[in-house]
Amino acid sequence: MGELRFADSDALEDLRTYVTRARSLDADGAIRLQSHGVALAAYVGVMPGRGLVTTGAIIGLRVIALAEPADVDVIVSLASVSERLARGQTSTFSIPPTTVRVGWAAIAPPRSGWEAVGDVSVADLKTVATQGIAEITRGSTLGSGARVVDALRERVWARPTQTTPPIPSGVAFAAYALGFLTQESARVFAHGHWTRLSTATGHVLVR
């Protein structure tokens, strides 16, 4: 598959942190590594979505600087990336050779043409995320089956927030869990059926 050369060791550490956070949400999950220049777009699935076009899929995106141009678009397991990152490289990453298929990566989000529709307080997003986590924890009582818990998660994270503009609560959860809520506000963008929440640290996309 080849190698990616990052701008410095901090950039590689960014990828390591991001992958660790994504694995905490789905240990068996995948990551899409995409680059057609000197920036690596790293996509991870937070919510799988429903149906053939995975409606409601929530996807995290972190963009990391590369030291030199790369032309790559692969989907590999988070576990394989984590294993390679644990080898202690300073600024070079060897792409795992084995690819995987995941539904949320079947339809790529738009790269341009987004329209800003408003700003949302990061404090409000954190509240939505933590309250949702608490609700799911209360509902996941001893004896609750996996289907019941999955249905509860889907219901909680599909619920629109009370913010202006409103977004699915799962978008707030994804931004919180992936460590993107590092400033006072986040900007919301729209493009057709897609919505994007963006901060200086990363983006969360939902369709």
Check if the beta carbon of residue 183 is closer than 8 Å to that of residue 200: yes
Helix (H) or strand (E) holding 100: none
The residue among 169 and 87 whose pLDDT is bigger is 169
Residue 95 one-letter amino acid: I
How far is Cα 97 from Cα 108, in angstroms, rounded to an integer?
22
Q: Which two tokens stand for residue 63?
A: 């963009």
- DSSP letters spanning 15-28: HHHHHHHHHHH-TT
Q: Which two tokens stand for residue 1?
A: 């598959």
pLDDT band at 144 (very low <50, low <70, confident <90, very high): confident
For range 10-14, the mean pLDDT: 91
Helix, strand or coil for residue 190?
Answer: strand
Check if the beta carbon of residue 169 is closer than 8 Å to that of residue 159: yes
Angle subtended by helix axes 169-177 and 122-139, to nearest 10: 100
47 strand-pairing partners: 58
Residues 34-86 have pLDDT tens digits of 999 999 999 999 998 777 767 889 999 999 999 999 999 999 999 999 999 98
End-to-end CA distance of the chain, in Å? 30
pLDDT band at 189 (very low <50, low <70, confident <90, very high): very high
Pairing of strands 3-5, 185-191: unpaired
Q: Which two tokens stand for residue 17?
A: 């942190």
- Calculate what percentage of the chain has a pLDDT beyond 90: 76
Q: Whats the size of the chain, residue-wise?
A: 207
Residues 95-138 have pLDDT tens digits of 999 999 999 988 888 989 999 999 999 999 999 999 999 999 98
Sequence ranges of the domains in the chain: 3-105, 115-206
Thinking of the domain 3-105, which architecture would CATH place it in? Roll (3.10)
Q: Which two tokens stand for residue 194?
A: 């897609």
How far is Cα 203 from Cα 151, in angstroms, rounded to an integer?
25
Predicted confidence (pLDDT) at residue 90 exceeds the cutoff of 70: yes
Task: Report CA-CA distances (Å) from 171 to 70, 83, 126, 129, 195.
Answer: 30, 28, 11, 9, 9
